[in-house]
Every structure is written in structure tokens, then in C-alpha cells.
Structure 1
Amino acid sequence: MIQLENISKKYTTKKGTIEAVKDVSLHVKKGEIHGVIGYSGAGKSTLIRCVNLLEAPTAGKVRLNDKEFTELSKAQLLAERKNIGMIFQGFNLLKTATVGDNIAIPLKLIGVKPSDIAARVDKYLEIVGLTDKKNAFPGQLSGGQKQRVAIARALAQEPDVLLSDEATSALDPETTESILDLLLKINAEFGITILLITHEMQVIQRICDHVYVMEAGEIVEDGPVIDLFSQPKHKTTRSFLNTISQRKLSKEFVDNLKKTGSVLRLTFRGEATGDPVLAAVSKEFNVKPNILTANIMELKNGVIGNLDVHMAGEKEEVARSLAFLEAQGVVIEDWDDQYGKN
């Protein structure tokens, strides 16, 4: 559905050349929700604007529905963009137009028949739950309601693809949850493929099938969400996960505990999250597991449990207990090696 191949984007400034995106490739399959996460300045906004060529890449290829966008004429590109909806952090609503007109005006501009416009406005306002706000103005709406109007406006074009540029970052947590629920509903009911960018790991956790971690213009790690959440490899991924999974033990605290045993990160996936394996460890082996932090994360496609544990005991006995845990499907990482480096 969406294929970016070796995309690069450079800007020339008075101070020299800035490479905002560096040789990035990604593939979003039809009907899936993929997320790109990165800190400010990582290049993710530039990347998503390359998808519909709002930013023309310096190098690389952009394909949507097997059409090579970088080879289209201006007229052909404008026609293809009708199949791509986009929502933004700032909503981009016309302040002097009603909610209904904010949805109708873009439809007029892309040549939708006047007889169809009113029906589409009503249809998509109902989908986003704002039928009663049709004649209201943006200034009369909350932030969440404005974003719902923006989503209705994007959907009214009846696109195959929806691009989301930090669509929830200006919203409070409760409103963010409602917008994410709406995106999941849209994806499930209409089969719309969604590519979103965010700096909030909670967004990735909640709705994404696949995640790309971006830093300094490059993809530094990617994979199914459940894989990256259970076994993050890159320090930036681990740093993002710190924000939601209680990984922030101090190194001084951990070093003190390691004098009497090992400090480990145990990760449980799927059904294993409910198994009392630590209780079995304490019975079967001469070790004393002490849980330092515990966290269960519900992802779109699974459940992950994380425990930071101090395993007090002799090295040989601890090693035997860890072999037992690994046999039960538990992923074991040395805390200091993986998380003390952040």
C-alpha cells in the first residue's frame, strides 16, 4: 500500500546542507496502522510529508497502490492525492467557516458533485460523533472536537490512506484516548491504512501494528510493536519505553543491589503474563526474587508484562533459576546492560 524506498531529503541553508531524512525505507501493508516515533528534530514530520509529496524527496521512491508518485506529472499527483487524507496537530480549520463548511469546502475543491457533498458531510460528522455541531464554528469547539472535525474532513474525501502528523500531541490524555479509539474504529470499519507520526509511546502502544523508531533522520529500529516492546535493541527505543513502563531505577540503587545478587529485566509475552513463575522459582531454587518494578502493557495485538527483579542468591543457583525461567518463555536481560546506559 505505502512503500518508501531509500528516501532522503536535504535542505540547503546559508549555514550549509541539512539532511532531514537519510535513506529511509518502510512498507505499510493495506489495512494496517504503522507508527513512526521520534523526538523533536528526528525528521519524522519531513518523512510523512514525503509520502504525499508535500515535500519532494531529494532521493528515493514513493509508491502508493503500486503507483510511483515521484514520476507523476503535477496533474496526476493532484488526482492521486484525493486518495490520501491527512490530519495535523493544529487542526487547520477555517475559523470563519462552520463545521459543515470546513468539511464541504475541500470537497468542492476536488470536484465532488454538489449533490454528494451534503450527504458526505452528514455521514462523516455522524461517524466522528459531531452531528449536532454541523452549524457551529471552530471557536465554539474543544480541542478534541476540532480534531474530530479534521478527521471527518479527511475521511470525507473517502481516501485509501490516512496520514496523521502528531494528531494527538495537543490534546489531554482523556481526549487522546477518544481520538485513538476513533482511529481504530475508522481502520476497522473502512479498512483505511494509517501511517502516523508521534513522540508519544502510548499512541504506538494503543493502536499500531508496526513501529519505526527514528533518530537524526534515520530509522534506527523497527518491527512489530509487540517485538519492540518486549525486546528493544536501540537506546532510543528503550528511552521511549521508559516513559510508560517504569524502567527508571537509578544506577546507584541497582549497583547496591548487585552486591547480593543479579538485577534483571524479565519480560513476559501473551498468556505467560498470568503465570506465577516467580513463585515457582522461590520454591524450586535457593534464591529470593524481589520485585522492584512491575508493569503490564496492553498492546493492540497482545499483552506484555515487565518485571525488574533482584535475584538474591549464589551465582550458580541464580543461573539455574534463570534457565528455568527461559524454559518458560520468559525473556531475561541484565538490567545494567540494557537500561542503565540510558
Structure 2
Amino acid sequence: MIQLENVSKEFKSKKGVIRAVSDVSLHVKKGEIHGVIGYSGAGKSTLIRCVNLLEAPTAGKVRLNDREFTELSKSELLEERKNIGMIFQGFNLLRTATVEENISIPLKLIGVEAAEIPKRVEKYLEIVGLTEKKNAYPAQLSGGQKQRVAIARALAQEPDVLLSDEATSALDPETTESILDLLLKINAEFGITILLITHEMHVIQKICDHVYVMDGGEIVEDGPVIDLFSKPQHKTTRSFLNTISQRKLSKEFVANLKKSGSVLRLTFRGEATGDPVLAAMAKEFDVKPNILTANIMELKNGVIGNLDVHIAGAKEEVGRSLAFLKSKGVVIEEWDDQYGKI
């Protein structure tokens, strides 16, 4: 559905050439929700604008529905963009137009028949739950309502692909939840493929099938969400996970506990999150586990459980107990200096 191959984007400035995106490749299959996460300046906004060629890539290929966008004429590109909806952090609503007009005007511009436009407005306002706000102006709406109008406007084009540029970053937590629930509903009911960018790990956790971690214009790690949440490899991924789970222990605290045993992070996936394996381990081996932190994260496609534990006991007995945990599918990471810096 969406394929980027070795895409790069450079900008020229007085100080020289700035490479905002560097050799990025990704593939979003039809009907899936993929997320790109990164800190400010990582290049993710530039990347998503390369998908519909609002920013023309300096190098690389962009394909949607097996059409090579970088080879299209201007008129062909405009036609293909009808199949791509986009929602923005700032809503981009016309202040002097009503909700109905904000949805209708783009439809007129892309050539939808006049008789069809009111039907689409009604249909998609109902989907986003704002039928009664049809005659309201943006100034009369809350932030969440404005974003729902923006989503209705994008859906009214009846696109195959929806691009989301930090759509929830300006919203409060409760409103963010409602918008994410709406995106999940849209994906499930209409099969629309969604590619979103965000700096909020909770957004990835809630709705994404696959995640790309971006840093310095590059994709530094990617994979199914459950894989990256259970065993992140890159320091940027670990840093993001700190924001939604209790992953950080101070170096001093860990060093003190290591004097009397091992300090470990245990990660449980799926059904293993409900198994009392730690209790079974303590019963079978001569070790004393002490839980330091614990949390369970519900993802779109699974559940991840994390335990930070201190295990006291003879070295050989601790080794046997860890082998037992591994046999139960538990991922084990040792808290060393590297983790202390997370």
C-alpha cells in the first residue's frame, strides 16, 4: 500500500545542506496502522510530507497502490492525492466557515458532484459524532471537536490512506483517548490504511500494528509494536518507553542492590503475563526475589508485563532460577551501567 524506498530529503540553507530525512525505507500493508515516533527535529514531519509529495524527496522512491509518485506528472499527482486524506496537529480549519463548509469546500475543489456533497457531510459528521455541530464555527468548538471535524473532512474524500501529522499532540489526555478510539474505529470499519507520526509512545501503544523509531533523520529501529515494547534495542526506543513504564532505576540504587544479588528486568508477553512464574521460581529454587517495580501495558495486538526484580541467592542457584524463567518464555535483561543511563 505505502512503500518508501531509500527516501532522503535535503534542504539548502545559508549554513549549508541540511539532511532532514536520510535513506528511509518503510512498508505499510493495506489496512494496517503504522506509526513513526521520534523527538522534535527527528525528521518525522518531513518524512510524512514526502508520502504525498508535499515535500518532494531529494532521493528515493515513493509508491502508493503500486504507483510511483515521484514519476507522476503534476496533474496525475493531484488525481492520486484524492486517495490520501491528511490530518494535522493544528486542525487547519477555515475560521470564517462553518463545520459543514469546512468539509464541503475541499470536496468541491476535487470535483465531487454537488448532489453528493451534502450526503458525505452528513455521513462523516455522524461517524465522528458531530452532526449537531454542522452549523457551528471553529471558534465555537473544543480542540477535540476541531480535530474530529478535520478527520471528517479527510474521510469525506473517501481515501484509501490516512496520514496523521501529530494529530493528538495538542489535545488533553482524555480527548486524545477519544480521537485514538475514533481512528481505530475508522480503520476497523473502512479498512483505511493509516500512517501516523507522533512523539507520544502512548499513541503507538494504543493503536499501532508496527512502529518505526526515528532519530537524526534515520529509522534506528522498527518492528511489530509488541516486539519493540518487549525488547527495545536502541537507546531512543528505551527512552520513549520510559515515558509510559517504570523502566528507570538510579545507578546508585542498582549498584547497592547488586552487592547482595542480581538486578534484572523481566518481560512477559501475552499469556505469560498471567502466569505466577516468579512464585514458582521462588518455590523451586533457593533464591529470594524482591519486586522493585511492576507494570502491565495493553497494546493493540497483545499485552506486555514488566518486572524489575532483585534476586538474592548463591550464584549457581540464581543461574538455575534464570534458566527456569527463560524456559517459560520470559525475556531477561540485566540492569548494568548501560541500563542505568536510560
For this structure pair, what is the TM-score category when the shorter chain's length is used for normalisation? over 0.9
Partner Cα separation in structure 2 for residue 162 and residue 93 of structure 1: 17
What is the CA–CA distance in structure 2 between the aligned matches of 1:30 and 1:341, rounded to whole Å? Answer: 39
Partner of 1:103: 103
**2:220 alignment partner in structure 1:** 220
Structure 1 CA distance for aligned equivalents of residues 199 and 67 of structure 2:
30
Match of residue 302 from structure 1: 302
State how 1:267-286 maps to structure 2 within 5 Å. Answer: 267-286=267-286
Instruction: Work out whether 1:165 is the aligned partner of 2:160.
Output: no
What is the CA–CA distance in structure 2 between the aligned matches of 1:336 and 1:207, rounded to whole Å? 32
Contact (CA 8 Å) 1:289, 1:309: kept in 2 or not?
A: yes
> Could you tell me which residue of structure 2 aligns to residue 73 of structure 1?
73
Moved over 4 A (4+): none
Q: Which amino acid aligns with 2:130?
A: L
Q: Structure 2: which amino acid aligns with 1:280?
A: A
1:10 equivalent in alignment to 2:28 = no
Q: Residues 1-342 of structure 1 correspond to what in structure 2 (within 5 A)? A: 1-336=1-336, 339-342=339-342
AA aligned to 1:223 is G
d(CA) in 2 for partners of 1:286, 1:100: 70
Inter-partner Cα distance in structure 2 for 1:335 and 1:228? 18
Deviations 1:3-29, CA, capped at 9 Å, x for gaps = 000000000100111000000000000
Amino acid at match of 1:69: F
Amino acid corresponding to residue 266 of structure 1 in structure 2 = L
How many Å apart are 1:147 and its aligned residue? 0.2
Give unmatched runs, 5+ long, in structure 2. Answer: none
Contact 2:251 2:337 in 1 (8 A): no
Q: What whole-Å deviation, never above 9, does each CA across 1:252-310 have from its counterpart, x for those lacking one? A: 10110001001000000000000001111111111111000001000000000000000
- The whole-number CA distance in structure 2 between the counterparts of 1:307 and 1:337 is 18
CA RMSD of aligned residues (A): 0.6
**Contact between 1:85 and 1:155, CA under 8 Å: does it hold in 2?**
yes
Quick one: which amino acid aligns to residue 277 of structure 2?
V
Matched residues in 2 for 1:340 and 1:203: separation?
A: 26
What whole-Å deviation, never above 9, does each CA across 1:209-262 have from its counterpart, x for those lacking one? 000000000000000000000010000000000110111211110110001001
Give the deviation of 1:341 after TM superposition: 3.0
Unaligned ranges ≥5, structure 1: none
Letter in 1 for 2:270: G
Q: Distance in 2 between matches of 1:339 and 1:33?
A: 30
Equivalents in 2 of 1:190, 1:27: separation in Å? Answer: 20
Query: Alpha-carbon deviation of 1:340?
Result: 1.6
**Identity across matched positions, percent:** 87
Cα pair 1:238 1:339 within 8 Å, conserved: no
Q: Per-residue CA shift, 1:294-331, capped at 9, x if unaligned?
A: 01000000000000000111111110100000000100
User: Which amino acid letter does the alignment assign opposite residue 332 of structure 2?
Assistant: I
Q: Give distance in 2, aligned partners of 1:297 and 1:118.
A: 42
Amino acid at match of 1:35: G
TM-score, normalising length: structure 2: 0.99
